[in-house]
Structure 1
Amino acid sequence: MGTEATADDGAASDAPDAYDALLDRVRRWNTLGSAAGVLGWDQQVMMPEGGTPARSKQLSTISSIRHDMITDEETGDLLDELNDADLTDEQAAVVREVRRDYERADAVPVELVEEISEAGSEALQAWEEAKAEDDFESFAPHLEKHVELKREYAEHIDPDRDPYEVLFEEFEPCLSMERAESILEELRETLVPMIDAIRESDRELAVDTFEGHFPEDDQEALAHDALELLDYDFDRGRLDVSSHPFTSGNQFDCRVTTRFDESDPLGAVGSTVHEYGHAQYNLGLPQEHWATPLGESRDLSVHESQSRLWENHVGRSRAFWEEFLPVFQEHFPDTTDATVEDAYEAFNQVYEDNLIRVEADELTYHLHIIVRFEIERDLIRGDLAVEDVPETWNDKYEEYLGIRPESDGEGCLQDIHWSHGNFGYFPTYSLGSVMAAQLYATAEAEIDDLEASIAEGDFDDLHDWLGENVHRHGSRYETNELVTRATGEEFSADAFLAYVEEKYGELYDL
């Protein structure tokens, strides 16, 4: 249920001078951060391998300058001056977001910020090499360094709290760690027996529909056509290839990457549509508020809700394949005998032996997340040594998923996140999936015959609904309020659990 914004949405014309001065500072440091984002994108997509030493210095310098700008005494003075100011709701939201960033940044020495940034650039190259060579030992010192630095970072912010909780707030500051853990527990309690029941089911899906050889060039052309179908704005974006799919940018320039496996074209479709969801969110943010909290996304749980909504509720639907299957078959004529139902079943099968998170099915995906969450939480809390990560990872995969990696490349080295020092990121994937189901259920109830529109390749109504209820608000509302305004209900796992029980119950005759 979309909620209309209040009457002061445009921000009052008589903004306090301190507010205007603060906003000017915010725009400057966020513009600098945006430039760093382009350098980060280039490092993963275009930069020659030998560029790492210079790039690490470039990024660490930008990080330290931006940190100095945020923590400058004038920033604190302006925030103090605005404590009792008569602000509109929008202005108050901006001050709230800036104050949170300022207080966290002000607690951390700039030297530590530089060290973390430089360590991340060096670790990225080490991770890429270690993954390619299946050599965790070569990456372990970089991971150890990140763990030490991030513990120190968390201690500066709040020495009396769980350091992992402090780091989780970097990615989701508006939901408590307790709430996140309770949702992950709900998912585990529901999905583990559901997956067991599916594996015991006699129902056989059309899982061999897309077996064969699918050349990378043809898959890249298919990924481009998928983005065209979804109405990705190539005037403000581009498609590239990276070792780990990601999206980078803002409402004026937002770029997506994907990757290809010549035996698995559906994997590329899924990752491309997933990254499209991220990009569509960024591109839908208000242009007039660029580089301010009102023009920035509402943190990673909401961001992941957009990518998972497009990937799972649209990309994995029968309706989507009504329109997309002929496009797929144009690129791969050997699949011309496949039906929409074949494609739907192949894209929604629950795997028995998948080790890779980004290639996981919609259900086991969350067990992949829980493994990572538990390991990184224990690393940061000091309950797990870096040298024990591979064995612990493999043991948890065997316990939760019934499979055991045979190499670290397909095990604990498969994700890029720890090379960036991004501890606390992984839970947002599952939180985003849960949120996606709640948002999509409401959109489906409010949009006349949404499924028929998708089957015709018409996504305008869904774009408009998400733009109105999520994108245009930027970071004005905190997470739960944003979801409540959009759906009429507080954020919960109810819609997601109902969705998977209905969908997979029908697929597997449960």
Structure 2
Amino acid sequence: MSQSSSYQTIEEHAKRLHNLEQTDHLLRWDSDVMMPPEGTTARSSQRETLSKMMHDLRGADALGNALDRVNEQQLSEDKQAVVREIRREHEVTTAVPDELHREIADVTARAHEAWKEAKENDDWAAFAPVFKEHVELRREWAHNVNPDGDPYEVLWKNKLGYTSQPHISLSIVNRVFDRLKSTLPPIIEDVRESDADLATDTFTSRGPYDAEIQKEAFETVLDELGLDWGRARFDTAPHPFSYGNPHDVRLTTRFDEADPSSGFTATMHEFGHTTYHHGLPAEHYGTPLGRARGLTIHGSQSGVWENHVGRSESFWEFILPIFQEHFPQLEDATPTDAYEAVNQVNESNVIRTAADELTYHMHIIVRTEIEQALIAGEITVDEVPHLWDKKYEQYLGVAPDSDRDGPLQDPHWSGDLPGFINYTLGHGVLAAQVWAAAERELPLDDQIRNGQFEPLHQWMGENIHQHGQRYESQELVQRATGEKITADYFLEYIEDKFRNLYNC
């Protein structure tokens, strides 16, 4: 096999894998948006087939032979990056016996059904046995991939496909999370003790808000933000998401008729992901050069648009007239009112998905610490509810009244471990770092106030989107911001924002 044919085989496998994953994402989108209610059985079978095909492609002997024979030193830097990324996925896949892959697929399918029943019945004991199996199988998976590594870090760094986040060490995660858990609780406590009187009911006191009219209002804002409708759809889903590529993105949101800001912040979040999909180099579609650089980088994009743009007072100065045009009951609301409403800190919050921007990341830290202890064998699955309550009391000063509102509130542990790190590392920490870097070059506050979003799009495209997976994660962050991942900018942003809001 020649050098050129070896590389060609590698690239062909990469493109087939990407197309299969994109097809799976379309099936997931369809199941949430358009599929008839009785389509679940067939859809599960279809997605299972695609998953098996992707697994077989990643571990194919033909791909392994091509990777063995290719001489990376004779390749361009771009082609070396393609080989690096495909080699990683092939090595991880072939390190794990097929039987273990099948066992994990089986247990995650059973675990999800067990989780749904356990949550409905508020019964952790009904979920615990299958969760124990899942934890044990993940430990076994990690041992196969790297018998000498920390199992939790092996799981974190060796995910495959869209959910992957290689090239960021667990020590970085732990260092960032340690700073957050020592810095955020005092701010949370001071905010809760503050007697500041914010306009928290700006939206909720003026309802209801028709869902169809909300959708029209959100679409008008997306127009102003520069969404390319020729390459995107905007629909409703039970849990918002954004899947796609430079040519086709499926953007979804939800609607709360009591409070339009809930669905709107979800829309801004998913729009951030959409900008990344649209900004990837179309000429490299199908190869790692045309794929996002993992969920941490992806999360930075959703965090920038949801929080740094969407929750800013300058943004509400620009878009509040759009909301008032669609909802006349908001005619006496001010941009400051709206700003305070979308940035309020909830007095008592035990549900992650309903958390505010300040307290949200403590929810992630609780889950991550419990995951680490489980994988390390330091605690048992049966001890999770007690530890959960203890950590919530310690970090947030609240505790759930039930397991339904405690460790059963999220479905993630039925399907993945680790399940939560990227929510904070990307959406919170890296988003603030990226925003600070862009702000050093652009007058963002004035541009946002005047509805000028193209400069921010261009900055993100030039510094992040266009590179795909050309660089490893930390190198991409270094090139874009001048530093590797650090919590400094996030903590400065959070402290300044919420101490000013609450006069504390």
Inter-partner Cα distance in structure 1 for 2:459 and 2:453: 10
Inter-partner Cα distance in structure 2 for 1:334 and 1:300: 39
Q: How does 1:468-487 map to 2 (within 5 A)?
A: 468-487=462-481
2:165 corresponds to which of 153, 172, 176: 172
1:192 corresponds to which of 175, 185, 189: 185
Q: Which residue of 1 aligns with 2:58?
A: 70
* Deviation (angstroms), 1:228: 2.9
1:184-219 superposed Cα distances (whole Å, 9 cap, x missing partner)? 111111111122222222322221222233345143
1:453 corresponds to which of 447, 469, 474: 447
Q: Which residue of 1 aligns with 2:233?
A: 238
Mapped pair 1:278 → 2:273 = yes
Mapped pair 1:299 → 2:294 = yes
| Kept in 1: contact 2:288–2:469 (CA 8 A) | yes
* Deviation (angstroms), 1:307: 0.5
Inter-partner Cα distance in structure 2 for 1:141 and 1:279: 38
Mapped pair 1:38 → 2:26 = yes
Mapped pair 1:16 → 2:4 = yes
Q: How does 1:81-160 map to 2 (within 5 A)?
A: 81-121=69-109, 123-124=111-112, 127-128=115-116, 131=119, 134=122, 136=124, 138-160=126-148
Unaligned runs of 5+ in 1: 1-13
1:354-408 superposed Cα distances (whole Å, 9 cap, x missing partner)? 2222322211111011111112222333334334434433332222111222344
- Of all paired residues, the percent bearing the same amino acid is 49
| Kept in 2: contact 1:60–1:113 (CA 8 A) | no
Distance 1:252 1:410, change over 3 A: farther
Distance 1:366 1:75, change over 3 A: same
Secondary structure, aligned partner of 1:16: helix
Unaligned runs of 5+ in 2: none
1:20-52 superposed Cα distances (whole Å, 9 cap, x missing partner)? 221112111221122122223333444455444
User: Which residue identity lines up with residue 40 of structure 1 in the other structure?
Assistant: R
Q: What is the TM-score normalised by the length of structure 2?
A: 0.91
Inter-partner Cα distance in structure 1 for 2:55 and 2:174: 31
1:469-493 superposed Cα distances (whole Å, 9 cap, x missing partner)? 1001001111111111112223211
User: Which residue identity lines up with residue 169 of structure 2 in the other structure?
Assistant: S
| Kept in 1: contact 2:188–2:396 (CA 8 A) | no
Mapped pair 1:323 → 2:325 = no
User: Which residue identity lines up with residue 338 of structure 1 in the other structure?
Assistant: A
Q: Which residue of 2 aligns with 1:224?
A: 219
User: Which residue identity lines up with residue 498 of structure 1 in the other structure?
Assistant: E
User: Which residue identity lines up with residue 353 of structure 1 in the other structure?
Assistant: S
| Kept in 2: contact 1:271–1:358 (CA 8 A) | no
Deviant stretches of 4+, over 6 Å: none
| Kept in 2: contact 1:56–1:121 (CA 8 A) | no
Deviates more, 1:489-498 or 1:377-386: 377-386
User: Which residue identity lines up with residue 376 of structure 2 in the other structure?
Assistant: R
Inter-partner Cα distance in structure 2 for 1:413 and 1:261: 23
Q: CA RMSD in A?
A: 2.4
| Kept in 1: contact 2:173–2:425 (CA 8 A) | yes
Inter-partner Cα distance in structure 2 for 1:181 and 1:330: 47
Q: What is the TM-score normalised by the length of structure 1?
A: 0.90
Secondary structure, aligned partner of 1:330: helix
Secondary structure, aligned partner of 1:255: strand
Tell me the number of residue pairs that the alignment of Structure 1 and Structure 2 aligns: 495
Mapped pair 1:503 → 2:497 = yes
Mapped pair 1:395 → 2:390 = yes
